[in-house]
Amino acid sequence: MMKILIFLCLANLLGLLEGCQLPHDWRPQTEACRAELVETVVFAKVLALHKDSYSVYNYLPWQYNSDLFFSAEIELLCDQAWGSMLEVPTGSRLNVTGLGYFPCHSYTVMENNSYYFFLRMDENYNLLPHGVNFQDPIFPDSPENHRMFASLFQFSNCSFGIDPQVYTPDWDVQEDHRLLCSTVQRALLEEEERVKNLSQKVRMLEKANGHLREKVKNLKRSLRQATIENKEALQAKCLNKENGGKDSKTSNHKKVLARAPKKPTGNRLD
């Protein structure tokens, strides 16, 4: 029982459980829409798999050196991938990292098989699967997927099996569809970014608010301290007067008497 609790706490801490939760207004997008938004699409054959003992995309830090994470060495089967990020000819070899079994998803491929990959590049120039809209970024080599992605490679020189020109009649339809869904999706992404910006602002304001509250608390404390010190000083003064001012008692008394009538008039004027 304790073990399970500890695991749950750990899992929670690492976002393992919460990480699987999709935004509450999430809806699945068509592959055509996602292909429009992804950084790059390539059609490639997997030549070899390499184990990654460590990956920045590894969310299970206590499982270093496991078999869960790997990269794939791929060879492009068409030149010029979709999008501007990669401009490489057929036959180029690349390593795609960030594959494996993750808490919320699995990105897996098999040696000698071909796939369509949605890819992106991270800030260290690693190529990674790009799960646009939190959906699967790797598509097996099937007739439906050929049909779906053929138009993306329509001007490519493909070396292996597929002949994109066969699907010419679909181009116009797909083109229209892409234009339509990309505007919708872009609006969605902008909305997401706006929300992200807003929540960041809220967090900043909350922080500032916390600082202010702390400042006010400190001010109050020093005010209280000052009041106490004032009182103490007054008391000390009074004590001093009572003790040390005996010889000048008459003159003090006179002063008090002289001031006394002034006060009520001052108050009445208020």
* Positions that interact with ligand NAG (CB under 6 A): 50, 73, 90-91, 93-95, 111-112, 157, 159, 190, 193-194, 197
Closer CB to ligand NAG, residue 32 or residue 138?
138
CB 148 within 8 Å of CB 32 = yes
92: helix, strand or coil = coil
- The DSSP bridge partners found for residue 50 are 71
Closer CB to ligand NAG, residue 53 or residue 235?
53
Q: Which of 41, 48, 45 is nearest to 160 (CA)?
A: 45
Torsion of CA 224, 227, 232, 234, to 10 degrees: 180
CB 48 within 8 Å of CB 75 = no
Q: Are strands 114-121 and 127-129 parallel, antiparallel or unpaired?
A: antiparallel
30: helix, strand or coil = coil
Closer CB to ligand NAG, residue 93 or residue 221?
93
Q: How far is the CB of 178 from ligand NAG (least distance, A)?
A: 23
Can you read off the two tokens belonging to residue 160? 């292996």
Closer CB to ligand NAG, residue 54 or residue 62?
54
Q: How far is the CB of 34 from ligand NAG (least distance, A)?
A: 21
**CA 178/CA 133 separation, integer angstroms:** 16
Q: Are strands 40-51 and 114-121 parallel, antiparallel or unpaired?
A: antiparallel
Give one DSSP letter per residue of 171-231, joined into a string: HHHHHHHHHHHHHHHHHHHHHHHHHHHHHHHHHHHHHHHHHHHHHHHHHHHHHHHHHHHHH
Q: How far is the CB of 49 from ligand NAG (least distance, A)?
A: 9
Closer CB to ligand NAG, residue 31 or residue 79?
79
Closer CB to ligand NAG, residue 194 or residue 241?
194
Q: How far is the CB of 96 from ligand NAG (least distance, A)?
A: 9
Q: Distances from the Cα of 84 to the Cαs of 13, 40, 48, in angstroms?
A: 38, 7, 26
Closer CB to ligand NAG, residue 183 or residue 197?
197
